[in-house]
Amino acid sequence: DAEDVGLALETRTVSDRHTLLHIQVEGVIEDLLFQEEHTMRARMANGVCLTCTRRAGNYFEATVQLRSTGRRLSEEEFTTLRATLDKVLEDLADDPMFFITSEGPVTGGYDIVLGSKGLARTWGRHLVTEYGGQVAESNTTVGRKDGIDVTRLTLLYRKPGYDIGDVLRWRDRFWRPSTWTKDGAIMSRIDRQERTGASWRDLESANVVTQMKDHLVVDLITQDDSVGEFLDPNTWQMTPIRLPWDHDRNRPLRATKVDGEWLALHHLGCDEEGGKPDE
């Protein structure tokens, strides 16, 4: 083993790209002193990582198309959907291919072009879990490399035109979606205690009557077993309303106006502040 090892290094710049390195090395091996001197040339070359090259060249593997069914989504709703991609990126392990090539609004929706098919599919699953809806995939062959087809993925996500807690007219009755399922939603009937599963195909005939953001939460001034009264904020008049089947006197009443009449809504988990869909 070497002992008393020493290393000296001196540099001399030759040009912007070339540098001479003078190296002296010494050490003691079995009580004998060894010394060596070396001169080498170091050259700097410009290089770009693969990911940077792909980003600069607008490389992409997948396009995610955000669309809706039933009604056109607002700009705010598209912004909310888009923000979930940032959350997915934060939660995923670092991958150099998890980047956004381009994005922007298009007719009827919003498109995001991504550098990874895996990222597109993960985001699609997240959207379905959080907002319901359906995902459809299609692949386009754009060439061959090493005998293997090179494809690009188009992932279409269609968000329902309604959210958990909205009031829908479906099968000639009023219902509220209480939670999403893999193939549709669990529907909760407003006028009586009834829950049923519905597929997306079943819900194609559903119409949005009112959204959660338009509902009114009131404290009843008077009430009996079937009817209560509250102060209508639009007219400042005492207004009667039929109580919901699960009415709780210790809980504010959620109501919405349908065809000019106030309709009391039964309670769902999403009605709580920060509440989640029913299980």
DSSP string over 166-192: -EEEETTEEEEEEEE-SSEEEEEESSS
Please indicate, yes or no, if residue 189 is contained in any of the structural domains: yes
pLDDT-derived band at 157 (thresholds 50, 70, 90) equals very high
Structure tokens at 126: 């997240």
d(CA 176, CA 172): 13
Domain end point (choices 159, 181, 210): 159
The whole-number average pLDDT for the span 162-188 is 95
Q: Mark out the alpha helices in the chain (DSSP H runs).
A: 50-56, 75-91, 117-131
What are the DSSP E strand ranges found in 190-272? 195-199, 207-210, 216-218, 222-223, 227-232, 237-242, 253-258, 261-265
User: Are both 189 and 135 inside the same structural domain?
Assistant: no
Nearest-10 Cα torsion for 226, 262, 168, 71: -170
**According to the model, what pLDDT value does residue 101 have?**
94
User: Are both 155 and 57 inside the same structural domain?
Assistant: yes
**According to the model, what pLDDT value does residue 73 have?**
86
Token look-up 């699609």 returns 124
Percentage with pLDDT > 70 across the chain: 98
User: Are both 30 and 125 inside the same structural domain?
Assistant: no
Domain end point (choices 159, 186, 202): 159
Domain end point (choices 159, 184, 210): 159
Please indicate, yes or no, if residue 207 is contained in any of the structural domains: yes
**According to the model, what pLDDT value does residue 221 have?**
96
Are 9 and 21 in contact by the 8 Å Cβ rule? The answer is: yes
pLDDT-derived band at 187 (thresholds 50, 70, 90) equals very high
d(CA 257, CA 70): 20
d(CA 138, CA 106): 19
User: Are both 208 and 231 inside the same structural domain?
Assistant: yes
- Mean pLDDT of all residues belonging to the chain: 92
pLDDT-derived band at 143 (thresholds 50, 70, 90) equals confident
User: Are both 250 and 175 inside the same structural domain?
Assistant: yes
**According to the model, what pLDDT value does residue 277 have?**
67
Please indicate, yes or no, if residue 276 is contained in any of the structural domains: no
Of 46, 3, 2, 41, nearest to 22 (Cα)? Answer: 41
d(CA 202, CA 20): 76
What total of structural domains would you count in the chain?
Answer: 3
Asked if pLDDT for residue 32 goes beyond 70, the answer is yes
d(CA 98, CA 119): 6
Residues 78-125 have pLDDT tens digits of 999 999 999 999 998 888 889 999 999 999 899 999 999 999 999 999
d(CA 2, CA 30): 8
Please indicate, yes or no, if residue 182 is contained in any of the structural domains: yes
User: Are both 73 and 150 inside the same structural domain?
Assistant: yes
d(CA 114, CA 99): 6
pLDDT-derived band at 40 (thresholds 50, 70, 90) equals very high
Please indicate, yes or no, if residue 277 is contained in any of the structural domains: no
Nearest-10 Cα torsion for 135, 136, 142, 146: 80
d(CA 66, CA 78): 8
The edge-to-edge listing of strands for the beta sheet with 207-210 is 195-199, 184-189, 173-180, 167-170, 207-210
User: Are both 35 and 56 inside the same structural domain?
Assistant: no
Please indicate, yes or no, if residue 208 is contained in any of the structural domains: yes
d(CA 84, CA 126): 8
User: Are both 72 and 32 inside the same structural domain?
Assistant: no
List the domain range (segments joined by +) for residue 199: 167-271
Are 109 and 68 in contact by the 8 Å Cβ rule? The answer is: yes
Maximum average pLDDT range among 34-48, 52-66, 248-262 = 248-262
User: Are both 117 and 200 inside the same structural domain?
Assistant: no
User: Are both 140 and 240 inside the same structural domain?
Assistant: no
User: Are both 91 and 191 inside the same structural domain?
Assistant: no
Which of 13-17, 68-72, 262-266 comes out lowest in average pLDDT? Answer: 68-72
Please indicate, yes or no, if residue 278 is contained in any of the structural domains: no
Higher pLDDT, 175 or 2: 175
Asked if pLDDT for residue 4 goes beyond 70, the answer is yes
Please indicate, yes or no, if residue 32 is contained in any of the structural domains: yes
**According to the model, what pLDDT value does residue 110 have?**
96
Structure tokens at 111: 């498109």
**According to the model, what pLDDT value does residue 279 have?**
61
Q: What are phi and psi of 51, to 5 degrees?
A: -65, -45
User: Are both 30 and 15 inside the same structural domain?
Assistant: yes
Structure tokens at 184: 């549709």
